Structure 1
């Protein structure tokens, strides 16, 4: 792969040429389009770790995405400065690398359903075990079937960016192909054969069967290396490694800080975990001693740990750049840095003491029920209207009005094929906020009545 093509300004679905502007680059416009999208705003009420938290300090998907974007911009800009000097890329600015990473990081969780990863699990479980879900999914084949059995927020995020937002536009938000490729950590369709392809980029699907042509256009535009002549699977865009690293840094470090603030970790536990990542420094100790509050000391160390991780990721990427461009590296950068064991320990402790907290388990369990029940309630309604039209049952004709037209079909008429109907329904449910999903669940089950 070559950097000139990898940094393509071409917009998916648009024939307009790159805008020559001294104030906003094409990649900055990508970031702005994501920020002003409704899907991005909805992340303020989507779970990061603590669902439906009443504590205003706790991070949501929105704040996590903003923090990841900040780290991604730093990583991208630092890498860009070195790449431009190394390859004499006069036409590119270091800020282009940073802006691509910042935009991709900003959107990296935009397709996640309500209630965090348990929401993904709920959709997969419904597709395999739901009374109606199992019947509908069983008739599908290949990647169409695996899109539901192996439902993935990353695939859904690609749909949000390229199809569901600004749905009347070809290419949705019409982001640059460079940003969309950097966003796609898993450039593969959902059905590729278990264990056939190794590496982190083959671990999960990155786009649905319906969106395969869109990603193919992205991959051809930026020049990704294909891994199979028949199956839709490619090597990653190099900047996708930095997007992944920014996310890895943030959720490891920030989850420890949130866990401390909510009392799941003691001050000394958090201090010890953060200090282990940092090389010994007398100046840092002096600065730490001048800080009076425990909370402020943890915040100070959190910033230092993020800075240390950025530095180590930067050097790791530059050391392996040639192999990355050749598609010979397919492991997370986090797994190759000097303090990888100490950074891994952060996530191990989070699993041991934070992710199993009662308030997390209780709400995620309830969320599992909410999502499964919404899917089970709505799919027979949609099928009834698709088959019977105006002769559908009064209940079906009434309940289908709870679904926005964009998730049914033109003029409120569902598609004729099962795959498209299921896809539109999962678009609807996965796009909900935590609070809206709970509210709609209560209404359709009769638990809560209007007024």
Structure 2
């Protein structure tokens, strides 16, 4: 089925292009090529062993950054198709949005940001851009993946003014400019941000119950989950309650999450369609000068915020999770200290980059890049090699 793009959708025929021109491909659009370059990158493969909430060794069925990115891409494409947006660009951005995440999830980022506080800090969105712009080394003519402007714009969903100014100095009129002007990214990029939130809320509910850190009784107190639990329990009474989970019956939870996902998707589509019709942007550039258009309805947004608050208090701040994250942060800090003290402890390429770096800030950025690229299990092995201790068994 041929999909007709809306006039405000990103059209690969009118892309703002790549930093290094490449010849057109005979069978793929520029955004399809972006997606393919991302999927074949080393950073994308490493997402398989990077934490979402639970550290890699804690179980084979918990989400990782890779499975999360795939779920975000699936949701993003579904919504994009209904809104006549560019599915290929949405998929590319969704698959790449977490490439800059450290091992051990947000705990690793916090630790690395603290280590880098005197040298510009660390932020995973900016690091994702750094990965696709510089750190991937696959092509003879340039560093990075040389993605289109639109893909890079979508990957950089947050940016401080200081970092935006630095990006603007290196690339005038580039991906940092919108943060200085107060503009929005494309609708495809806005959609990826919301698909990310929909995905991680749903799978954190699933993983939280799977880990026995959350119960259905607790979830029944959260309006967004409670109404679907009630619907499923009424429709399938044999599946009702925690007793069903205790005997290995998970269909109640799966069906609840399925309905919750579907309603959020339908809500986003309806709300965004109404906003686009009201604002009537005639082009992608017009979209950038408007307020955000991809959104939940006010009622759904309130419900989602309540769920996020619940997950923060009951799952992300659960003592078991905090204990693991404390140990994970110690791993990151001690790795940083070891490499800062002796760059030769890193592989030859990174050690040479650190030796040749002009100034302390650039040398520490080499260390941060190396640590940020690690998987959970590689970071643990490196920490054990350098310290003789294994903090997470």
Does 1:308 pair with 2:263? Answer: yes
Give aligned pairs, total: 367
Superposition CA RMSD, Å: 3.1
Within the candidate set 143, 152, 155, 1:180 is matched to: 152
Q: Which residue of 2 aligns with 1:16?
A: 22
Equivalent residue of 1:444, what SS? helix
Tell me which residue corresponds to 1:45.
49
CA distance in 1, matches of 2:23, 2:16: 7
Query: For the residues of structure 1 that align with 2:351 and 2:292, how far apart are their CA atoms?
Result: 36
Q: 1:271 and 1:286 mapped to 2: Cα distance?
A: 14
Please show how residues 279-290 of structure 1 align to structure 2 within 5 Å. 288=236
Which residue is 2:251 aligned to? 296
Summarize the Cα distance change of 1:4–1:246 in structure 2 as closer, same or farther, 3 Å threshold: closer
Q: Aligned in 2, Cα 1:234/1:331: closer, same or farther, shift over 3 Å?
A: same
Match of 2:101 in 1: 112
SS at the partner of 2:125? Answer: helix
Q: Partner of 1:447 in structure 2?
A: 389
Partner SS state of residue 356, structure 2: coil
Mapped pair 1:403 → 2:347: yes
Q: Give the stretch that moved more between structures: 299-308 or 325-334.
A: 325-334
- 2:72 corresponds to which residue? 68
Task: Quote how far apart the aligned CAs of 1:357 are.
Answer: 2.7
Aligned-residue offset at 1:176 = 2.0
Asked if the contact 2:187–2:293 (Cα under 8 Å) also holds between the matched residues in 1, the reply is no
After superposition, residues 74-113 of structure 1 pair within 5 angstroms as 74-80=78-84, 94=85, 97-113=86-102
More displaced, 252-261 or 289-298? Answer: 289-298
- State whether residues 31 and 92 of structure 2, in contact with CA within 8 Å, keep that contact through their aligned partners in structure 1: yes
Q: For the residues of structure 2 that align with 1:110 and 1:3, how far apart are their CA atoms?
A: 27
Q: 1:159 deviation in Å?
A: 0.6
Which residue of structure 1 aligns with residue 186 of structure 2?
A: 237
Task: For residue 316 of structure 1, report the CA deviation from its aligned partner.
Answer: 2.3
Provide, for residues 33-69 of structure 1, a one-character-per-residue CA deviation record: whole Å limited to 9, x for no partner: 2122111111111110111343221111111111111
Q: Tell me whether 43-52 or 292-301 shows the greater mean CA deviation.
A: 292-301
Separation in structure 2 between the aligned mates of residue 407 and residue 305 of structure 1, nearest angstrom:
48
Q: Which residue of 2 aligns with 1:247?
A: 196
CA distance in 2, matches of 1:181, 1:6: 14
Q: Hey, what does 1:327 align to over in structure 2?
A: 289
Between the aligned partners of 1:124 and 1:218, the Cα distance in structure 2 is: 22
TM-score of the superposed pair, with normalisation by structure 1: 0.72
Question: Following TM superposition, by how much is the alpha carbon of 1:407 offset from its aligned partner in structure 2, in angstroms?
Answer: 6.1
| Partner Cα separation in structure 2 for residue 160 and residue 17 of structure 1 | 23
What do residues 280-322 of structure 1 show as CA deviations (whole Å, max 9, x unaligned)? 97xx777645879641121112112111111111222233333
Residue number among 433, 440, 446 corresponding to 2:375 in the alignment: 433
- CA 1:401–1:349 in structure 2 vs 1: closer, same or farther (change >3 Å)? closer
Q: Is the 8 A contact 1:408 1:425 kept in 2?
A: no
Decide whether aligned partners of structure 1 residues 34 and 226 sit closer, same or farther in structure 2, where only a CA change above 3 A counts. closer
Structure 1 5/268 Cα, relative in aligned 2: closer, same or farther at 3 Å? Answer: closer
Aligned to 1:200: none
- Give a deviation string over 1:143-197, Cα, whole Å, max 9, x none: xx4x31xx200000001111111265436112222222122212x4552xxxxxx
Per-residue deviation, 1:373: 1.3
2:228–2:260: 8 Å Cα contact kept in structure 1?
yes
The unaligned stretches of length 5 or more in structure 1 are: 81-93, 129-136, 138-144, 192-204, 383-399
What is the CA–CA distance in structure 1 between the aligned matches of 2:225 and 2:346, rounded to whole Å? 52
Listed as ranges, the gaps of 5+ residues in structure 2 are 1-6
8 Å CA contact retained: 1:256, 1:346: no
